[in-house]
Structure 1
Amino acid sequence: MALNRLLGLKTPSAPHYDKYWGLNTYQNTQRTTLLQDLERKGFTFRADVRKAELVEVQQRLDRGLLHYEDKRITNAQLSSFIQNRQLSKPVASTRKAMISVLLGADEALHFDKFVDLPPELRERIYQFHISSLPERLFCPTQPPITRTCKLFRKEALPIFHRLTTFEFRFYFVNDQYHRGDDISKAVLRPCFQTTQFLNTMRTRDAAPVRLDSILTYVMEGSMRDMLLSSGDVMAWCSLEMDRTLQMVDFDGRSMRRGKDLLAIMKHKYDDLDSSRSREDTFSLDDLYSLREALEVSVFSAYRKFEPR
C-alpha cells in the first residue's frame, strides 16, 4: 500500500468516470480550509459564514465568474456591469437588487451559435475547455462536449486524447490465483474499467483512436480487486510521445532487482517500438502489445510473492 500512496493511486468510485468534468463539490474540504483560501484571495466574510456559502463562492470563481458581494466591487461598478451587458436596471438601484440582476443574468447565459464559429476558433475553445479538466484520468467517459453531435465529437475527441494522460490497470489474477501465490499461476488481465475504455477505442466509421500519453499499472489482487480496480501496485510504466519509459518495483515483494525488471521491460518495449508504426501516438493494438510486454517482463523478473 505504500507505493499506492506514493503514486497517488486510489480506488475510484463510480461517479469518477463520468463526473471528472463537473465542478468540484468540495465535499472533502474543511470549512476552515475554504475560508482561509478565499481570505488569502482578499475576500472577507462574516464570522458565522456557512460552508455551503463558501462553496458557492468558490464554485463561481471556478467558473470564471465574479463574486458580486465582494466588498472591493463598488456600487458604481455593479451599475456599470449591468449597463455594459445591456441588462434591465432594477427599479430600486440598491446593491442587493443590482447583485440579484447580475446573478440572474449569469445563470441565464447561453450561446446558440457555436457551430457557426470558424473551425479554428472552435478548436481553440476545445483546447481551453479540455485543458481545464484533470490532466490524468482513469478510464474516463467522453467529455460532454463530444456527446453533443458527430461534428463536435470528431473535432474535440482528438484534442481530449492528446491533452490527457490515460491510466490503465492490469491484474495478475485468475480463478486459482490468490494474493501471495506463485506468480506463475497468474495471468495479466485488464480490470473492468480498463476493458470498458479499450472497447471505446474500437471504431469503424471514425478515424482510429490514438493516445499521446498513457500510464499503466501492473496490480496484484484478487478477482474482486480487479472488479473494483483496487489492490496493490507491483510495477508501473509511463509512456509518452517521446517514448520515455519509467518503472517502479512494488515495495516489499521479492523482485530480483528493480533494475532487472526495468532492463527486461526496456528490451521488450524496444521490440514493441521497432515493430509498431512510426506514429507518435498509441493505438488500441499498441496497448494490447504493451500488455503482452508487461506480462512477459514481470514474469521474468519476479520469483515468488513472499515477504523479503
Structure 2
Amino acid sequence: MDNTAWEQIFRRRGDSSSMFDRYWCLDKYDNINMSVMKARLQALDGHKTGLPFSRQTLVDYMQRIDRGLLRYDLCETNDLLRFAAARHITIHGYTTNNSKAVTVRRNHAALVNQLQRADDHATFPLTRLPPELRVRVYELYLSESRIMLKAPTQPPLARTCRMLREEVLPTFYFRTTFVVTLQMHTGDARSDGTLLRFDFDSIAFLETMSPQHLSRVRKLHFNIMQATSTRQQRGILAEVVVSLAGDADQRTSIKSTTLPRGLLWKKWVIAGTEKVITRMESRDGRAILKIGDVYAFRSALEVVLH
C-alpha cells in the first residue's frame, strides 16, 4: 500500500484524522478524567496515587506503563543511583553530603527526570540481530496493536529502512485481521444489481493495497451494516470473519443478532464463503487472496441476503 496515495485520498475526503487507524500511537487519554487515571495507577503499581499530580504528569505515567517502562518515582534514591551507574548515565544537579529534606527531594527528582529522559532516547541495535530474532521482535511489536484494524496505515517500524520494510510488512499483513464494511441497501438493489456496497474506507484500502501485500492477508472481518444517511444511525447487522489459514470447519465464523433466518442463514453464509476459498485453493494450490476474491466474498454474502 502506498501511504502517499492513502494520504491524498483521505485529504480529498477532508476528514483524514478519523480515517486512519492510529493503532501504533500511544493513548493520549484525552477522554479519561484524572480520578480514573489515579485509580488505575494505584491498581497497577499498588501505591496510593494521591499526590497533586498535574494531568500531564498522570498521562506521562500512564504512557510509561503502556510502554512497559519502570516508574522511577516509586523507587528509592539509592536504587536510582544504581540504575544510572549501570547504564553509564551522568546525573546532573545531584547534591551530595546534604540530608535536608528539600535536597533529598531535589536529588530524587533529578534522578527520575534524567533516567526518564534516557529511556526516551534509548536505542537498540535491531538490525544487528539474526533474521530469526528480528522476526520474533516484529511479532511481539505487532501483537501490541489492536486485533482488528480498519484501513490502517503501515506500522512505523516498516518505514525506517528498506530492509525492515521488507521484513516487517509480511508479518504485519499475515497477523492482522482487517475489517471490511459492507452497507446493505433496503428495498431494491442498486442499479448495478448489487445489494451490498463497500463503504469508502474499505474500498480505498483494498484498491490501494498492492497485490503482494493483499496475498499475505489471512483474515478478513466483514461488517454488514444498514446503509443510512449518518454514521451514528448505522448498526451492525452481522459480522462474518473469514480465516484463510484455519481448518475447513473453522474458516468462517458468524455473529448475527438482527438478520433473519437464524441458523439457516448462517449455514448458507458458511457454504458460500467455503466455495470462494475452495476456488482460491484450486487456482493457486492454497488460499492466496486477490482483490477479486474480496468481491467474491461480498457476492457470497449478498446471495443469502436477497
Instruction: Identify the TM-score tier after normalising by the shorter chain.
Output: 0.7 to 0.9
**Aligned Cα root-mean-square deviation (Å):** 2.5
Deviations 1:207-241 (A, max 9, x none): 6532122210122114x55xx69722222211122
* Higher helix content, 1 or 2: 2
Q: Does 1:291 align with 2:295?
A: no
Q: Does 1:187 align with 2:195?
A: yes
- Stretch deviating more after TM superposition (277-286 or 153-162): 277-286
Deviations 1:181-213 (A, max 9, x none): 42445632211110121123333xx56532122
Q: Does 1:100 align with 2:104?
A: no
Q: Secondary structure at the match of 2:158?
A: helix
Return the match for 2:156 from 144, 147, 152: 144
Indicate the residue corresponding to 1:89 in structure 2.
91
Q: Secondary structure at the match of 1:248?
A: strand
Which stretches of structure 1, 4 residues or longer, exceed 4 Å deviation after superposition?
A: none
Indicate the residue corresponding to 2:41 in structure 1.
38
Q: Does 1:231 align with 2:239?
A: no
Task: Select the structure with the greater relative contact order (CA < 8 A; seq sep ≥ 6).
Answer: 1
Q: Does 1:209 align with 2:215?
A: yes
Q: Secondary structure at the match of 2:223?
A: strand
Q: Percentage identity across aligned positions?
A: 27
Shift of 1:265: 1.6
Any stretches of 5+ residues in structure 2 without a counterpart?
1-14, 96-106
Q: 1:141 to 1:91 in 2, by over 3 A?
A: closer
1:104-119 to 2 correspondences below 5 Å? 104-111=117-124, 113-119=125-131
Aligned counterparts of 1:281 and 1:44: Cα–Cα separation in 2: 53
Shift of 1:280: 5.1
Indicate the residue corresponding to 1:161 in structure 2.
173
Q: Secondary structure at the match of 2:133?
A: helix
Number of equivalent positions = 270
Shift of 1:143: 1.1
Aligned counterparts of 1:14 and 1:85: Cα–Cα separation in 2: 39
Q: Please tell me the residue identity of whatever aligns with 1:182.
A: G
Return the match for 1:62 from 61, 66, 75: 66
Shift of 1:42: 1.4
Q: TM-score, normalised by structure 1?
A: 0.78
Deviations 1:128-149 (A, max 9, x none): 1101111111121111111223
Return the match for 2:255 from 228, 231, 248: 248
Indicate the residue corresponding to 1:133 in structure 2.
145
Return the match for 1:268 from 255, 265, 272: 272
Q: 1:46 to 1:232 in 2, by over 3 A?
A: closer
Shift of 1:266: 2.3
Aligned counterparts of 1:19 and 1:273: Cα–Cα separation in 2: 31
Indicate the residue corresponding to 2:101 in structure 1.
none
Q: Secondary structure at the match of 1:82?
A: helix
Q: TM-score, normalised by structure 2?
A: 0.79
Q: Secondary structure at the match of 1:48?
A: coil
